[in-house]
Structure 1
Amino acid sequence: MSAVLLTAATAQASGLVLDVMTYNVRWDGLDTGRNAWENRRPVVIDLLKTYSPDVCGLQEPSAAQTRDLDQGLRDYHYYMGDHARDETIPILYKATRFTLVDAGSFWLVDQSDLSGGTRRCVWVRLEEKSSGRAFYAYNCHLDHRAPDSRLQSAQVMIRTIAARGHPDPFVITGDFNEREQGKAIHFLSGERDLVDSRERYPDIIPVDTFRFLHAPGENQGTGHGFKGGKNGGRIDYVWASEGARILESQVITYNQDGFYPSDHFPVLTRLEF
């Protein structure tokens, strides 16, 4: 992300300016050898220090990985919910700038439907210490096997966000395991006719921050299998509530001499509420 562009945009901003990142860091139980977590850990930490997001929704880290990152990122605190399993979905936030005033998690799928897995969404409400301005951050990792589960998750998310306790703006980060053509992404983008017409959904249409600034094109993928190419699927997203001013958004291809710290690229957006 261009420091020149961001500096200029920030100079003109008068609201709450946030750098928001989503990043699937890949579960530590999947790889040995070069891509083992012990080798990737310092590079992930360097990436986060380099880009210094105010808020970062992580996907897939084990509880041990989250603790590793917490130890390496002293300016950050994290929240990963009450139902953390082997794979967690923590939200990192700059404790030097924000106070955690509320937090929680909720199921994204009907637990009677085992095909939906155990997907949850973690959320925090953060308040800027210097101004008292607050916002919500939601983080999720949708099912990679079941399109219907992803659509249901999007529906639950919209209903839950609409029922949040305060009318503060919000961001959503996540590995949605779905390209833009998928039903869940279309639903989030406002195409509510994809579901039962008898159902009424809140009039909440979040903004896909990357697509807001960038027309569809090649080399916008976020999943790359440790190979570094950008021609894969764009499945990682940063969304923002309507009314946000989207200043910049970029797929981050950070690596160290061709070594990539995850099989996903993070996405970083700067926005203003």
Structure 2
Amino acid sequence: MKQYLIVLLMSMMSFTSCKAQNLSVMTYNIRLDIASDGENAWAKRKDFFSSQVQFYSPDILGVQEARTNQMQDLKDALTDYKAIGIGRDGGDKGEHSSIFYNTKKLKVENTDTFWLSETPTKFSKGWDAAYPRICTYGLFTILKTKQKVWIFNTHLDNIGAKARSQGMQLILKKINEVNTQNFPVILTGDFNVDPDDVLLAELKQRMIDSKDIAKIKFGPQATFNDFKYNEPATRRIDYIMLSKPNKFEVEKYGVLTSAIDSKYPSDHFPVLVELKLK
């Protein structure tokens, strides 16, 4: 009888531990491929960029500003990953706010991309935005535990304050619309606002800034470096947000500032969090 109880207890402990699933998530504005970047052009940094992602091997990677050729370069390099999302000009055209996911750990159940505008189902530019803006999302299943989590990834406008505000409201509306079973939600992206902006204050009424609840924090406050290695970065504009009520433990939050020969792999630093689903 005693031996039976020990075996039963060990089985229960094993089941409990397997249900506490870790998930690493990265958001990364990769800087579009543009010749005027000169020494910082994509062709000169793509190998560094890819190797950095491979080294940290996030389970989820939300990218911003990825043009079609950059998406292909990343797909070629990240062989354990697949990607969801379309370009902001429709199909493969224009910059992507796509989501890469590790196929050894996750599978995608459904996905879509919508425009941050008054007509979100078709190519369009909204409100006072300088450019068309999109949000890509997917419902993912963690293979080991069968837990499900929604991932949303976006890039808010760099000029239009109304476009940023209305775009975020549209994202929150979409989350409410699709998340009928109240699964955990992770929102990644370049929001183009600092933490003291009213957009963040309003968003934090609905979601949690992963940095605020992280047990371990690493790296600088700022996430935008503008390729200026010899000047301190000052702006934090890239975020990983979590749904309320909180269903995550944030084990680690980091802003990663790797450089080679005084060159960064992008004009943004990647933000990486290690989460545990409760």
Fold similarity call, TM over 0.5: yes
**For residue 240 of structure 1, what is the aligned residue in structure 2?**
242
Residue 13 of structure 1 deviates from its aligned partner by 8.1
Is residue 26 of structure 1 aligned with residue 28 of structure 2?
A: no
**For residue 135 of structure 2, what is the aligned residue in structure 1?**
121
RMSD: 2.3
Deviation per residue, 1:49-107 (Å, 9 max, x gap)? 11110001000010110110000110111012373532111101001111111100122
Is residue 130 of structure 1 aligned with residue 144 of structure 2?
A: yes
Contact 2:215 2:252 in 1 (8 A): no
**For residue 199 of structure 1, what is the aligned residue in structure 2?**
none
Matched residue SS, 1:163? helix
Contact 2:19 2:145 in 1 (8 A): no
Question: Which residue among 116, 119, 139 is the counterpart of 2:153?
Answer: 139
Inter-partner Cα distance in structure 1 for 2:167 and 2:264: 30
Contact 1:151 1:187 in 2 (8 A): no
Contact 2:117 2:127 in 1 (8 A): no
**For residue 272 of structure 2, what is the aligned residue in structure 1?**
268
Structure 1 counterpart of 2:211, one-letter code: F
**For residue 94 of structure 2, what is the aligned residue in structure 1?**
86
Inter-partner Cα distance in structure 2 for 1:208 and 1:80: 24
Give the direction of change, closer, same or farther, for the CA distance of 1:13–1:147 in structure 2 (3 Å limit).
Answer: farther
Residue 206 of structure 1 deviates from its aligned partner by 1.4
Is residue 70 of structure 1 aligned with residue 70 of structure 2?
A: no
Is residue 38 of structure 1 aligned with residue 43 of structure 2?
A: yes
Residue 45 of structure 1 deviates from its aligned partner by 0.4
Residue 214 of structure 1 deviates from its aligned partner by 8.3
Contact 1:20 1:53 in 2 (8 A): yes
Aligned residues: 248
Deviation per residue, 1:182-217 (Å, 9 max, x gap)? 122111111xxxxxxxxxxxxxx211112333899x
Q: 4+ runs of 1 displaced by more than 6 Å? A: none
Matched residue SS, 2:250? strand
Contact 1:99 1:127 in 2 (8 A): yes
Query: TM-score scaled to structure 1, two decimals?
Result: 0.84
Question: Which region of structure 1 is more displaced relative to structure 2, 142-151 or 162-171?
Answer: 162-171
Question: Which region of structure 1 is more displaced relative to structure 2, 67-76 or 229-238?
Answer: 229-238
Query: TM-score scaled to structure 2, two decimals?
Result: 0.82
**For residue 168 of structure 2, what is the aligned residue in structure 1?**
154
Inter-partner Cα distance in structure 1 for 2:41 and 2:200: 32
Contact 1:246 1:271 in 2 (8 A): yes
Inter-partner Cα distance in structure 2 for 1:254 and 1:215: 19
Structure with larger Rg: 2
Residue 230 of structure 1 deviates from its aligned partner by 4.9
Question: Which residue among 97, 104, 126 is the counterpart of 2:112?
Answer: 104
**For residue 200 of structure 2, what is the aligned residue in structure 1?**
185
Matched residue SS, 1:115? coil
Inter-partner Cα distance in structure 2 for 1:88 and 1:113: 17
Matched residue SS, 2:36? coil
Task: Note the residue ranges of structure 1 that are not aligned, 5 or more in a row.
Answer: 1-11, 191-204
Inter-partner Cα distance in structure 2 for 1:22 and 1:230: 21
Relative contact order: is structure 1 or structure 2 higher (C-alpha 8 Å, sep ≥ 6)? 1
Structure 1 counterpart of 2:171, one-letter code: M
Residue 257 of structure 1 deviates from its aligned partner by 2.9
